[in-house]
Amino acid sequence: MKFGKRLKQQIEETLPEWRDKFLSYKDLKQLVRLISTTNPSPNAEAEFIDLLNAEIDKFNTFFVEQEEDFIIHQKELRERIKTVIETFGPGGSQPSEAEYAAEMGRIRKDIVNFHGEMVLLENYSNINYTGLAKILKKYDKRTGGLLRLPFIEKVLKQPFFTTDLISQLVKECENTMDAVFPVVAQEQAERGEREALMAAEQSIFRNTVAALVTMKELRKGSSTYGHFSLPPLSLPDADLLQSFQLPSPIPIQ
């Protein structure tokens, strides 16, 4: 599948409020065509560089805002779990198996959704990086320029590309699920409760699965693997970082 179609599909499958935060790949592609024609527009190259920089600013702003929200939300979830255990759990101030199971069930749903959104943000980073690498490759190929290498060097230092914190939050979320909720799952004996919980989680789960599939495709090894490729999904995020020395022939903000 061509990247443009993959990006369009990913945008359609992500959260609605995220859809205008992805790479404006079509607009950048049109500018590359204008630059590479026999009679190029005199402003097209400057517009291309300006749009690239604006896109990076857009990615960073959105990514950092999401990170900050996730940190706050994870702290709130931990406090909710602690409160439920201290109130309704065995030895709590108002022990109640029914209330404990009901409250933990609601928290479980929220944690599953929270985990899914963090995976979607990791995918957001991957697919936008890949889109930038691909459009810069088109630019270099069609114009004979050397913009891709220095621009990717810049991208590798951007907040939206640095996913260590999100990866840590995802792992902590998974640890919380493993530590707290196996017991809760056993206590939710009624089939109706389980089905209601699954239905509530289905939408974010479907989006998360789509994101994981995309991440795997973007990161899988191939014979064309190179400096600009994301590593296979199993590699740690630190392995994404590369060192580049070539100076930029075109000013980059």
Q: What is residue 179's predicted lDDT score, i.e. its pLDDT?
A: 80
Rounded to whole angstroms, the Cα distance separating 228 from 159 reads 18
Q: What is residue 109's predicted lDDT score, i.e. its pLDDT?
A: 87
Q: What is residue 180's predicted lDDT score, i.e. its pLDDT?
A: 78
Please name each of the domains of the chain with its CATH number. 1-181+190-218 (1.20.58)
Please state, as a whole number, how many other Cβ atoms lie within 10 Å of the Cβ of residue 251. 7
Q: What is residue 135's predicted lDDT score, i.e. its pLDDT?
A: 96
3-state secondary structure string across the chain: CCHHHHHHHHHHHCCHHHHHHCCCHHHHHHHHHHHHCCCCCCCHHHHHHHHHHHHHHHHHHHHHHHHHHHHHHHHHHHHHHHHHHHHHCCCCCCCCHHHHHHHHHHHHHHHHHHHHHHHHHHHHHHHHHHHHHHHHHHHHHHHCCCCHHHHHHHHCCCHHHCCHHHHHHHHHHHHHHHHHHHHHHHHCCCHHHHHHHHHHHHHHHHHHHHHHHHHHHHHCCCCCCCCCCCCCCCCCHHHHCCCCCCCCCCCCC
* Tokens, residue 42: 């005199």
Rounded to whole angstroms, the Cα distance separating 15 from 83 reads 30
pTM of this prediction? Answer: 0.76
Per-residue pLDDT of the chain (253 residues; tens, 9 = 90+): 688 888 898 888 888 999 999 999 999 999 999 998 878 777 889 999 999 999 999 999 999 999 999 999 999 999 999 999 999 999 999 999 999 999 998 998 899 899 999 999 999 999 999 999 999 999 999 988 899 999 999 999 999 999 999 999 999 998 888 887 764 444 444 444 444 444 544 555 555 555 555 555 655 644 344 555 554 444 333 333 333 233 333 444 4
